[in-house]
Amino acid sequence: MAPAQEISRESAEELKTIEKIKLVEIPVEPAAGKEITAQQEKPQIKLEKIAFAVEPADAEILINGDLKGKGNLSGLFAHGDTLNVLIRRENYVEKSMTISVEKDSGRFYTVTLQAKIIEVEISIKTTPNDARIFLADRRVGQGSYKGTFEAGSLISFRIEQDTYLPRTLDIEITPESGKLYEINLEREKRGISITATPEDAEITFKGNSIGVGSFTGEYPIGEKLSFQIVKENYIPQTLDIEITTDQARTYTVALEREQRNIVIEVFPGDARISLDGKILGRGSYSGRYPIGEKLTFQVIKSGFKTRILSIEVPQEEGKRFTLNLTEENREVTIRTNPDDAEIYLNGQVVGRGILTQKFPLSRRLTFKIIKPGYRDETLTINMAQAKSIAYVVTLKGKPIVSSKSIFDSAFTNRIAVTPDRLISADKKGNLYATNRTGEIVWQVNTANNPNENSFPVLIGNNVFFSGSDEFLILNSASGKILTRMNLDKDYSHLFGRRVVHFGQFALFPTNNSIRFINLYSGETMREIAVPGGTRMTPAVYNGKLLIVNQEGLFMVIDPTTEKVVQRIATKAVQPVALKIDTLDNRAYFAGRKGQVVCVDLEAGEVAWQRKLEAGKDIGIFHDLEAALGGVFAFADKSIYGFSLADGSPLFAPIRGVSSPPLYYALPSLLYYGSTSGELIAADTSGRIRKRLKVKGNITTRPYWDNGNLIVGTDSGELMVINPDFIE
């Protein structure tokens, strides 16, 4: 028996791939010297190596129906076996063979399967549905295509359409590749740019923000796009675009602001409202403007300062704006003559003597220039047309500064004057106090009725008034009665007898004495007897008391010792009421029968004495007026004038006189009232220089008050007269 063949390593590896391998026992030679028995002898198996290499490499190799491998197979097979070999692969033509294993039949088989011819159907559908389909540069369809191809081939389609990007479809034909191919062409794109104004406007597309102020993008040709451009307080805009074959395009969108109505109201109501030189209205204007727009209006009116109204249109609808013009001013200066005249405007004092002030050009001003004793003047200035800015107004003097009816009866003798009060008495014994404008401040009725010649006397802040029946002390400012006492016949003051101030006392004359009384209570502090009795009012001279008794004896009394220190006999018997007047160390007085006496106080003798009129006893009941121009007496409605030196008459008696006279040195004039209802100014020769008609007859001695004369009349009229303006 032939020895067994050695199995190569390659064959061993190949045999491992065989799913079923027959294992046969390989006989070996018996040991030397031994014999084999019949039981021990076995059949000897002989093997052949058979191998296969198949294309394609994944083709299956089946032997006797069993799959032994793919692509490559190698194995040992016993003699006598029959191998039914089948080589197969899907889509390939199967190949079968039968191999009888016998001696020297082992070999290596190379088998190549022939592919089956398989036809595969290909379908193409395009979007757009009119796209052209090309195969090998040949147009084979439009929108769709269907064709059959052999498996294993490689085909390439090209799909195109105007305004679309072409596509290539490469297909390797396999059974699996037979299907519908849907080809979507992309449109060609074109670039667009959007620029928005204002530059911070937002650009949106399909609800999404894609840019602020500007946007650049590409979109397919033919696509219709809608962009929104928005910004707060602006009217939104929509930009509709259809992409065309044109090259990239730029779009500009300018938003307009939302508009709001504004209302402008100006004062005065006829002022012009203009914008950019165009007049929009007068007094008021309304219009619509974009929100946020800055507007500058000009408001103009003649005589007013032009104003600018700058506004930024708000979000609020109908917002009102108001503007008041201020009048344009021009400075005016008004000077008055006299320089203390008051300047009035609209009833208010705006200046005294001079006014410098700015006034609106639109105004027509009427000034009134007033000074007591002067005629009022009116100055009217139309500020818009005024050619001058400086004015001088000269007042013409008005002789009657003021005239007020105070009493319903006549004033008596004299008026007492304080800086702010005029205090007087009437024929009924009533006291009145007025202010400087003539309004009554207080009034007191007394028991001294009738009152022939008594008048109030001022001492300090108090008023002293005595008459036929009672004596009063009052506060001059308020009229409050401080003391009131009845007077009997020995103490009554008739025809103008009155108290006289002496230091811290008032001298109260009685028929037989001079009392020293308290200035507030009227209480008698002490009393000095007057020898021979008297009806006069005492005078004070160099700390001494001067008095004349009923027999005409002139006496000088020392108030300290209460002694008569000097006696001078005169012809002035029974002097009544009047007070001795002194001038340059001389004393002047008169008797009841018309005797006027001058006593030289240094010499202690009578200097001269004269009768008012020879052969006539004319009673004198008023104080003499001794002044530089002479001595003047009022009696029997006449004025008499005498030389200071020797008593010689200065002029013939002036008749028809209603009041005692006042002499004023600068100029040297004598002022008095006439029974014909006039104020007369005469010189010391008796010649009348001026005369002024007044209401009623003057009954009081004129009182000189800072250039004016204060008088009262028999009709109860209180008058202030400027003698400089008497013509």
| Domains of the chain, CATH where assigned | 9-115 (2.60.40), 119-184 (2.60.40.4130), 189-257 (2.60.40.1120), 259-324 (2.60.40.1120), 329-397 (2.60.40.3070)
What tens digit of pLDDT does each residue of 178-199 get?
A: 899 999 999 889 999 999 999 9
Q: What torsion, rounded to 10 degrees, do the Cα atoms 401, 407, 409, 415 define? A: -60
Residue 28 has what DSSP assignment? -
Choice between 5 and 699, residue whose per-residue pLDDT is larger: 699
- Other CB atoms within a 10 A radius of the CB of residue 489 amount to 8
Sheet with 688-693, side-by-side order of all strands: 662-664, 669-674, 678-682, 688-693
Residue type, 717: E
Structure tokens at 180: 């519908």
Q: How many helical (H) and strand (E) elements, i.e. helices and strands, does the chain have?
A: 1, 73
What tens digit of pLDDT does each residue of 392-428 get?
A: 999 998 899 889 999 889 999 999 999 999 999 999 9
Sheet with 144-150, side-by-side order of all strands: 144-150, 119-127, 180-184
Residue 37 pLDDT level (bands cut at 50, 70, 90): low
Mean pLDDT of the chain: 91
Candidates 611, 629, 646; CA nearest to 684 is 629
The mean per-residue pLDDT over the stretch 426-436 comes to 95
pLDDT for res 42: 56
Residue 154 pLDDT level (bands cut at 50, 70, 90): very high
The mean per-residue pLDDT over the stretch 385-391 comes to 82
Q: In whole angstroms, how far apart are CA 415 and each of 592, 699, 705, 713? A: 24, 10, 11, 11
Residue 91 pLDDT level (bands cut at 50, 70, 90): confident
pLDDT for res 22: 42
pLDDT for res 180: 92
- C-alpha 216/C-alpha 205 separation (Å) is 12
Structure tokens at 570: 């005169």
Structure tokens at 607: 């200097």
Q: What torsion, rounded to 10 degrees, do the Cα atoms 540, 542, 543, 544 define? A: -60
pLDDT for res 257: 86
293 pLDDT exceeds 70? yes
Q: In whole angstroms, how far apart are CA 159 and each of 163, 535, 614? A: 12, 158, 167
The mean per-residue pLDDT over the stretch 37-57 comes to 77
- Listed in sequence order, the DSSP H helices in 304-354 are none
Q: What phi and psi values does residue 550 have, to the nearest 5 degrees?
A: -65, -25
pLDDT for res 33: 52
20 pLDDT exceeds 50? no
In sequence order, the 6+-apart residues with CB closer than 8 A to the CB of 414 are 455, 700, 701, 703
Residue 215 pLDDT level (bands cut at 50, 70, 90): very high
In sequence order, the β-bridge partners of residue 698 are 713
pLDDT for res 7: 42
- C-alpha 710/C-alpha 723 separation (Å) is 10
pLDDT for res 30: 52
Structure tokens at 575: 């002097």
pLDDT for res 387: 72
pTM above 0.75, yes or no: no
Contact 636, 674 (CB under 8 A): no
Structure tokens at 358: 């700015």
129 pLDDT exceeds 80? yes
- C-alpha 420/C-alpha 554 separation (Å) is 38
pLDDT for res 34: 53
- C-alpha 493/C-alpha 454 separation (Å) is 8
What tens digit of pLDDT does each residue of 650-663 get?
A: 999 999 999 999 99
319 pLDDT exceeds 60? yes
Percentage of the chain exceeding pLDDT 70: 94
Measure CA 268 to chain center: 17
E strand intervals along 64-118: 66-70, 72-78, 82-88, 92-93, 95-100, 108-112, 114-115
- C-alpha 28/C-alpha 25 separation (Å) is 9
Residue 389 pLDDT level (bands cut at 50, 70, 90): confident
What tens digit of pLDDT does each residue of 620-638 get?
A: 999 999 999 999 999 999 9
Find tokens 């399967």 and name the residue: 113
Instruction: Sort residue 100 into left (φ over 0), alpha (ψ -120 to 50) or beta.
Output: beta
pLDDT for res 317: 93
The mean per-residue pLDDT over the stretch 127-155 comes to 92
Sort strands 513-518 and 524-529 into parallel, antiparallel or unpaired.
Answer: antiparallel
Residue type, 242: E
- C-alpha 551/C-alpha 52 separation (Å) is 202
Measure CA 500 to chain center: 67
Least confident residue range of 11-15, 398-402, 442-446, 511-515: 11-15
Least confident residue range of 303-312, 344-353, 516-525, 694-703: 303-312
In sequence order, the 6+-apart residues with CB closer than 8 A to the CB of 315 are 233, 260, 291
Find tokens 């028991």 and name the residue: 447
Half-sphere exposure of 197 (CA within 13 A, CB side): 5
What tens digit of pLDDT does each residue of 237-267 get?
A: 999 999 888 888 999 999 988 999 999 999 9
pLDDT for res 196: 95
Entry field: residues in the chain: 727
Choice between 676 and 32, residue whose per-residue pLDDT is larger: 676
- C-alpha 462/C-alpha 458 separation (Å) is 6
Choice between 495 and 527, residue whose per-residue pLDDT is larger: 527
Burial of 547 (0-12, 13-18, 19+ CB in 10 A): buried
Residue 200 DSSP SS3: coil
pLDDT for res 326: 86
25 pLDDT exceeds 80? no
Candidates 594, 622, 599; CA nearest to 610 is 594
- C-alpha 167/C-alpha 517 separation (Å) is 146
Least confident residue range of 19-33, 159-173, 517-531: 19-33
Residue 41 pLDDT level (bands cut at 50, 70, 90): low
Contact 395, 340 (CB under 8 A): no
- C-alpha 568/C-alpha 580 separation (Å) is 14
Structure tokens at 79: 């003699």
Q: What phi and psi values does residue 16 have, to the nearest 5 degrees?
A: -65, -25
E strand intervals along 14-142: 47-55, 60-63, 66-70, 72-78, 82-88, 92-93, 95-100, 108-112, 114-115, 119-127, 132-135, 138-142
Sort strands 95-100 and 82-88 into parallel, antiparallel or unpaired.
Answer: antiparallel
pLDDT for res 44: 64
The mean per-residue pLDDT over the stretch 23-30 comes to 45
In sequence order, the 6+-apart residues with CB closer than 8 A to the CB of 210 are 203, 204, 217, 227
pLDDT for res 303: 79
Q: State the SS3 of 216-279.
A: EEEEECCCEEEEEEECCCEECEEEEEECCCCCCEEEEEECEECEEEEEEEEECCCCEEEECCEE
363 pLDDT exceeds 70? yes
pLDDT for res 168: 95
pLDDT for res 74: 92
Report the chain's C-alpha Rg in angstroms: 76
Find tokens 């002989």 and name the residue: 46
Contact 315, 260 (CB under 8 A): yes
Q: State the SS3 of 574-611.
A: CCEEEECEEECCEEEEECCCCEEEEEECCCCEEEEEEE
In sequence order, the 6+-apart residues with CB closer than 8 A to the CB of 679 are 671, 672, 673, 691, 692, 694, 698, 702, 709, 711, 721, 723, 726
Candidates 315, 321, 330; CA nearest to 273 is 321
What tens digit of pLDDT does each residue of 474-492 get?
A: 999 999 999 999 999 999 9
Structure tokens at 522: 């009227």
456 pLDDT exceeds 80? yes
Structure tokens at 374: 């002067």
